[in-house]
Structure 1
Amino acid sequence: MLNLIKLPQVFTINQVPKVFHEDGIISGYRHPRSSATDCILSLFQLTNETLNIWTHFLPTWYFLWKLVTVVLMQTAWQDSFTWPLVVYLISCCIYPLASSCAHTFSTMSVRARHICFFFDYGALSFYSLGSAITYSAYVFPDKWVNSFFYQYYIPIAVLNTAISTGLACYSRFPECQSPRFRKIVRVTAFAYPYLFDNIPVFYRVFLCVGQGCTDNDAIILHYNHIALAFLTGFLFATHLPERLAPGSFDYIGHSHQLFHVCSILGTHFQLKAVEQDMVTRRPWLLAHSVPITFSNSLGLALLCVVVNLTIIILYSLPLLSAPVGQKNKKHGKGPKKTSGKLCNRC
């Protein structure tokens, strides 16, 4: 059937505006003003984005199945102890889905590209808060539960969520004029919340000795998650291997695909570790930890959604209000070699 459908044409790096360029990727680019239909059809042809999309779209269904299992089979709504896990699983469904949608529709226009990735960044920061909420509920070492740091851990994580989304969205504007600065800002926007969220895990896994360190079967799972998380960050920051051999990994094997795979595997191990801690430590946590309520679990998730959507709207308004005629004049009707000035134009 696909033989009867005319698939969209792909282009080289010199045929698309600079804002669409990827380091070390020479070919496989889609039309920079694709229709929504073309974007969907491109899922079934090999471009430099195809595997980026599928490596996050397919795992979404796995995490959705896990969420449904918890909500329906474990009667989550009747057991507040599972609410942090519900928040975390919701974030695990949203961030790969937002990423796959962003990669799918980001070639409709420069404006659409920016806004699509605004939502991607908001979803990632929401996932960061979901991780923090589950860590606070299930993962903190025994000796840190109810400590000073424990009391302020979630409020700081909420603040980090807003900062992360704001910085990541801002990083799209100096994208072509200052690519190195843009990269530093974007890496910082995601690395800092991750490092903060995982302070209790790092302490428990690498530093804590003696009584109260909560040494159980989840430790090896936390090790796996940490290793994959750092590999994910390394791939995102370095653009390896395509930087070493530009054009050789345009369709299969470039860093963003590997980044997606490692992030999903890392999330899988993180989920297993959280579930292990939740089951193993439940009696002790119910007796010694702060009770889990709507306000410190699901309520925080709703607050995060509202804050992130507000930030995304504030960044999107200048793009949406840009004159369409000016955009069309700058970009023309088809791919062509363009200057870096187009990066901030919509």
Structure 2
Amino acid sequence: MQTTILKRVVFVEKGRSTVYGTGGGVGGGGPQKVWEPQIYTVFREKGILFGYRHPRSSATDCIVSLFQMTNETVNIWTHFLPAWYFLWKLLALVYALDVWRDSYTWPFLAYMVTCCIYPLTSSIAHTFSTMSSRARHICYFFDYGALALYSLGSAMAYSAYVFPEEWIGSTFHHYYVSTAVLNTVVGTSLSCYSRFNEMEQPKFSKTIRTFAFAHPYVFDSIPLFYRLYLCAARSCTESVIPIHLKHTVFACLTCFLFATHLPERLAPGVFDYIGHSHQLFHICGIIGTHFQMEALLVDMANRREWLLAPSFSQTFGSLAAAIIVNLIIIAAFSTTLYSMPKFCRKGSKHKD
């Protein structure tokens, strides 16, 4: 059946085997690079059979692949374009509000910075992840770090605008952002560590990575969940609640898609180019972030009269500290990567 999907012609170029799709390849135009997925296990994805780029692509090859139909093309564009959308929203905020003197807007500003960073970093990681097995790991180290920063940005915005009135000024509120910074460090460390035993213990690795992404979200959302609970119990009519609920639904969908690898697990090869779980994961994540941003804007406007403005150290100070620590963590894992023989070019060849 596989031969009916894609005719394959093998070329030997500079001592390496390259497989090009011809004829029935998706996307038409020029030749499309694919490769036998069972050779380089580190590059394989569950349920994805075709559309792989060459695992030793040059930087130019990676950039050119943005305009060819591979199994990563939609992954890249579903985060690259939203990054510019969030940047546009950030610049509009800077233009419309007195952000330089109004410290009340700083948590939202910091949050919007992380909304720009995480999809842009993700798109770059997906673009250049096929240069080598080491490059793939390092690209995703940065991707994980950016996601962790986004969780911190969410926590800072929630602390400033979303906390239930009953919890404002409480001990939990006082240590909420500090704990979120710690969660960022733990999340980046765990997700980076999970790549080291990915081939030997894939289920364990996936569990660690899922926990690394899920636990900051759950912690960040505690004040929101309690507020939603209070609203349901009291039959409140706050206009922002439906928007928060939309964000929550898409956040749960995002986690579900990441953990299950559906639908491609049910029909391997069918969703290689369009519709596999990582693409849906990206789309749901971006839509969820959009609704989160809209909800925060409403809360920021409606609750301004009685909420306290945070200090610079509580917002940009915390964000800067987290960025520095995350970069140190990524540097440490990257250095370790280069000292381990199994991650060398030869070691990346692994038969199933």
Deviation string, structure 1 residues 234-275 (Cα, Å, up to 9, x no partner): 000000000001111000000000000000000000000000
| Selected match of 1:256 from 278, 282, 285 | 278
- Seen in structure 2, the aligned counterparts of structure 1 residues 292 and 328 have a Cα distance that, compared at 3 Å, is closer
Instruction: Assess if the C-alpha contact under 8 Å between 2:341 and 2:347 holds in 1.
Output: no
Instruction: Assess if the C-alpha contact under 8 Å between 2:133 and 2:345 holds in 1.
Output: no
Q: Distance in 2 between matches of 1:294 and 1:214?
A: 33
Q: What is the letter of the counterpart of residue 70 of structure 1?
A: L
Matches within 5 A, 1:67-146: 67-146=90-169
Instruction: Assess if the C-alpha contact under 8 Å between 1:204 and 1:214 holds in 2.
Output: no
Instruction: Measure how far apart 1:110 and its partner are.
Output: 0.4
Deviation string, structure 1 residues 103-144 (Cα, Å, up to 9, x no partner): 000000000000000000000000000000000000101111
Instruction: Measure how far apart 1:209 and its partner are.
Output: 6.4
Q: Does 1:305 align with 2:323?
A: yes
| Selected match of 2:335 from 305, 317, 320 | 317
Deviation string, structure 1 residues 182-232 (Cα, Å, up to 9, x no partner): 010000001001000000000101245678x98621111100000000000
Instruction: Measure how far apart 1:148 and its partner are.
Output: 1.6
Q: Does 1:240 align with 2:262?
A: yes
| Selected match of 2:81 from 58, 62, 77 | 58
Q: What is the letter of the counterpart of residue 327 of structure 1?
A: C
Deviation string, structure 1 residues 34-69 (Cα, Å, up to 9, x no partner): 000000011111111000000000000110001111
Runs of 4+ residues over 6 Å off in structure 1:
none
Q: Which residue of 2 aligns with 1:174?
A: 197
Instruction: Assess if the C-alpha contact under 8 Å between 2:254 and 2:285 holds in 1.
Output: yes
Q: What is the letter of the counterpart of residue 306 of structure 2?
A: W
Instruction: Assess if the C-alpha contact under 8 Å between 2:257 and 2:280 holds in 1.
Output: yes
Structure with higher RCO (Cα < 8 A, 6+ apart): 1
Q: Distance in 2 between matches of 1:32 and 1:197?
A: 37
Q: What is the letter of the counterpart of residue 294 of structure 1?
A: F
Q: Distance in 2 between matches of 1:209 and 1:246?
A: 42
Structure that is richer in helix per residue? 1
Q: Which residue of 1 aligns with 2:20?
A: none
Q: Which residue of 1 aligns with 2:209?
A: 186
Q: Which residue of 2 aligns with 1:39?
A: 62
Q: Distance in 2 between matches of 1:47 and 1:229?
A: 26
Instruction: Measure how far apart 1:72 and its partner are.
Output: 2.6
Q: Distance in 2 between matches of 1:323 and 1:145?
A: 52
Instruction: Assess if the C-alpha contact under 8 Å between 1:32 and 1:108 holds in 2.
Output: yes
| Selected match of 1:156 from 145, 157, 179 | 179
Matches within 5 A, 1:14-29: 14=38, 16-29=39-52
Instruction: Assess if the C-alpha contact under 8 Å between 2:250 and 2:287 holds in 1.
Output: yes
- Seen in structure 2, the aligned counterparts of structure 1 residues 125 and 93 have a Cα distance that, compared at 3 Å, is same
SS in 2 for 1:29: coil
| Selected match of 2:300 from 278, 288, 302 | 278
Instruction: Measure how far apart 1:70 and its partner are.
Output: 1.4
Instruction: Assess if the C-alpha contact under 8 Å between 1:56 and 1:96 holds in 2.
Output: yes
Instruction: Assess if the C-alpha contact under 8 Å between 1:11 and 1:27 holds in 2.
Output: yes
Instruction: Measure how far apart 1:12 and its partner are.
Output: 3.6
**Aligned pair count?**
325
Instruction: Assess if the C-alpha contact under 8 Å between 1:7 and 1:38 holds in 2.
Output: no
| Selected match of 2:344 from 327, 340, 344 | 327
| Selected match of 1:226 from 216, 234, 248 | 248
SS in 2 for 1:28: coil
Structure 1 unmatched ranges of 5 or more: 332-336, 341-346
Q: What is the letter of the counterpart of residue 305 of structure 2?
A: P
Q: Percent identity?
A: 58
- Seen in structure 2, the aligned counterparts of structure 1 residues 214 and 122 have a Cα distance that, compared at 3 Å, is farther
Q: Distance in 1 between matches of 2:148 and 2:245?
A: 22
The Cα RMSD (Å) is: 2.1
Instruction: Assess if the C-alpha contact under 8 Å between 1:52 and 1:103 holds in 2.
Output: yes
| Selected match of 1:13 from 11, 22, 37 | 37
Structure 2 unmatched ranges of 5 or more: 1-26
Instruction: Assess if the C-alpha contact under 8 Å between 1:12 and 1:28 holds in 2.
Output: no
